Amino acid sequence: MTPNNHIILVNEQDEALATMEKLEAHQKGLLHRAFSVFIINSRQEMLLHQRASHKYHSGGLWTNACCSHPMPGEEVEQAAHRRLQEEMGFDCPLQKLFTFTYHATFDNGLIEHEYDHVFLGTFDGSMAPNAEEVEAHGFFALPDISALIRDTPERFTYWFKMAYPTVLEHLGQR
C-alpha cells in the first residue's frame, strides 16, 4: 500500500496514535482524522457537490465542497487545500472554523468515525471538478439548502447535515 491509502488514527483529543489503511479503518470504525471544506461565494451562496455514485460510501449524496483525510505527515489545512484542488479544481484561502466528532454506519457496513476539522473559504472563480469525484455541483442559497435538508435529509451526507448548522452560525445565518 502507498502512504496515501493510509489515514491517521487519533484519540478524542485528536492526538495521532497510528496509521492504518483507509478501508480497514472504515471497516473497523476506528476514530481517525478528517476534514470538511465549506465554500461560499460573495453572494453568500454555498458550494455543494453530488458525490460520484461509485464512491465507497455515500455515493450520489449531496455534500460540502470537499472532504477527506490528511495523509500521514500532512498538516490538516495543507490536506484541505490539496483535496479542494483535486476534487473541485480550484484553491482559495481557508479559515478553520471548528472541529467535531461523529460516528455513522452505512448500508454497506462501512463506518465513519471521524475527528473532523471544518474549514471555510470564499470563492467566486471558475472551477473544474474531477468527474471521478463529483457528479454535479453548484452554488445554492443558504435558505434553500436548509429547506432541502429539512424536507429531503436522505439526499445529503451524514457529516454535512451535522456540520451545516454550526457553519451557518459562523456565517451569522442562524
pLDDT tens-place string over residues 66-106:
999 999 999 999 999 999 999 999 999 999 999 999 999 88
Q: Which of 66, 67, 87, 133 is catalytic?
A: 67
Could you tell me the CA-to-CA distances from 143 to 7, 38, 85, 128, 164 in Å, in that order? 35, 16, 27, 26, 12
pLDDT value, residue 2: 43
Per DSSP, which regions of 25-73 are E strands?
32-40, 45-51, 62-63, 66-68
Q: 73: domain range?
A: 3-170
pLDDT of 164 strictly over 50: yes
Instruction: Give the 3-state secondary structure percentages of the chain, helix then strand then coil, rounded to 5.
Output: 30, 35, 35
Active site residue 114: yes
This model's pTM is above 0.85? yes
Catalytic residue among 66, 87, 112, 114: 114
Domains identified in the chain, total number:
1
The per-residue pLDDT for 1 is 37
Q: Look at residue 12 and tell me whether its pLDDT is greater than 70.
A: yes
Q: What is the pLDDT of residue 169?
A: 95
Contacts of 169 (CB under 8 A, 6+ apart): none
The percent of residues in the chain predicted with pLDDT above 90, rounded, is 84
User: Is pLDDT of 55 > 80?
Assistant: no
- 74 contact partners, CB below 8 Å, separation of at least 6: 82
Question: For the domain that residue 50 is a member of, what is the CATH number?
Answer: 3.90.79.10
- The pLDDT score that the predictor gives to residue 109 is 84
Bridge partners of 134? 51
Identify which of 113, 125, 121 has the alpha carbon closest to the alpha carbon of residue 12: 113
User: Is 87 a known active-site residue?
Assistant: no
